């Protein structure tokens, strides 16, 4: 398995949770947003999508590409970093909207739905560009030895990035929420990275 295979398989889980967020953000006005489900969804994006998945990209994949001559401040790496930051901004705004909803400010629902829609559109396009452009460029640039080293670094960094078993817990949470909202599950990852190693 190549490191980009692992990242692509994580994309499928992220896409599944984007569909959950889409459901939450498009409920009829007379149907309240389930606060627990919305909070769990945002925490998934913080910990699985950003801390673990984007963390591997920003901390390992992108620097490895830079060593192969890819510029950081422009081109695909610069675009991906910029979009990661925009995504984090939308997550913060959705979290703020949920806090306002909990305190009875019903107009915050519109704020939540607007940022949910923007985040969904951003990440779906972002994932497409990574899967079909950036990762293909990486596969051409990296030797088999480079790929094996990067995959090992993925495993090592995830042992310190999250608690043991957390990665699999978030995948299970994504499946449970998909089931609850009548959405199809993604395929399981080809192999486990976070949480499958003893600490």
- Residue 189 has a CB neighbour count (10 Å cut-off) of 19
Give the C-alpha distances (Å, rounded to integers) separating 25 from 28, 168, 191. Answer: 9, 25, 32
Q: Does residue 105 lie within any of the structural domains? A: yes
Q: What is the DSSP letter of 45?
A: I
Q: What is the mean pLDDT of residues 2-31?
A: 94
What pLDDT does 194 receive?
Answer: 44
Q: Does residue 100 lie within any of the structural domains? A: yes
Q: Please name which of 104, 55, 115 lies closest in space to residue 81, comparing C-alpha atoms.
A: 55
Residue numbers of the domain that contains 110: 3-26+34-180
Q: What is the DSSP letter of 142?
A: S
What pLDDT does 86 receive?
Answer: 98
Q: Is the pLDDT of residue 193 over 70?
A: no
Q: Does residue 195 lie within any of the structural domains? A: no
Banded pLDDT at 156 (limits 50, 70, 90): confident
Q: In this structure, are residues 167 and 49 in contact, taking their beta carbons and an 8 Å threshold?
A: no
Taking the C-alpha atoms of residue 100 and residue 47, their distance in angstroms, rounded to an integer, is 22
CATH classification at residue 14? 1.20.120.520
pTM metric for this prediction: 0.90
Q: Is the pLDDT of residue 197 over 90?
A: no
Taking the C-alpha atoms of residue 164 and residue 152, their distance in angstroms, rounded to an integer, is 17
- Which one has a higher pLDDT value, 34 or 189? 34
Q: Does residue 197 lie within any of the structural domains? A: no
Q: What is the mean pLDDT of residues 155-170?
A: 77
- Which one has a higher pLDDT value, 193 or 93? 93
Q: Is the pLDDT of residue 16 over 90?
A: yes
Q: Is the pLDDT of residue 192 over 50?
A: no
Number of domains in the chain: 1
pLDDT digits (tens, 9 = 90+) for 36-82: 999 999 999 999 999 989 999 999 999 999 999 999 888 899 999 99
Q: What is the mean pLDDT of residues 177-186?
A: 92
Q: Does residue 170 lie within any of the structural domains? A: yes
Taking the C-alpha atoms of residue 107 and residue 85, their distance in angstroms, rounded to an integer, is 26
Banded pLDDT at 132 (limits 50, 70, 90): very high
Taking the C-alpha atoms of residue 51 and residue 58, their distance in angstroms, rounded to an integer, is 10
Q: Does residue 192 lie within any of the structural domains? A: no
112: left (phi over 0), alpha (psi -120 to 50) or beta: alpha
What pLDDT does 166 receive?
Answer: 78
Q: Does residue 139 lie within any of the structural domains? A: yes
Lowest mean pLDDT among 114-118, 159-163, 195-199: 195-199
CA atoms within 13 A on the CB side of 97: 21
**95 contact partners, CB below 8 Å, separation of at least 6:** 42
Average pLDDT, the chain: 90
Q: Given the structure tokens 């190693």, which residue do they identify?
A: 197
Q: Is the pLDDT of residue 159 over 80?
A: no
In 162-196, which residue ranges form alpha helices assigned H by DSSP?
Answer: 166-180
């Amino acid at each position: 398995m190549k490191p980009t295979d692992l990242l692509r398989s994580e994309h499928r889980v992220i896409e599944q949770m984007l569909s959950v967020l889409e459901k939450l953000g498009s409920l009829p006005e007379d149907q309240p947003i389930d606060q627990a489900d919305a909070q769990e969804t945002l925490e998934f994006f913080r910990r699985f999508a950003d801390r673990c998945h984007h963390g591997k990209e920003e901390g390992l994949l992108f620097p490895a590409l830079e060593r192969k001559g890819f510029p950081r401040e422009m081109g695909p790496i610069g675009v991906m970093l910029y979009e990661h930051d925009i995504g984090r901004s939308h997550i913060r705004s959705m979290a703020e909207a949920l806090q306002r909803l909990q305190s009875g400010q019903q107009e915050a629902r519109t704020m939540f739905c607007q940022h949910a829609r923007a985040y969904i559109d951003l990440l779906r396009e972002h994932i497409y560009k990574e899967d079909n452009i950036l990762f293909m460029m990486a596969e051409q640039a990296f030797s088999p030895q480079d790929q094996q080293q990067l995959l090992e670094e993925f495993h090592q960094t995830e042992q310190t990035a999250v608690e043991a078993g957390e990665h699999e817990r978030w995948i299970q949470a994504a499946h449970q929420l998909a089931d609850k909202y009548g959405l199809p599950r993604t395929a399981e990852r080809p192999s486990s990275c976070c949480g499958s190693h003893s600490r």
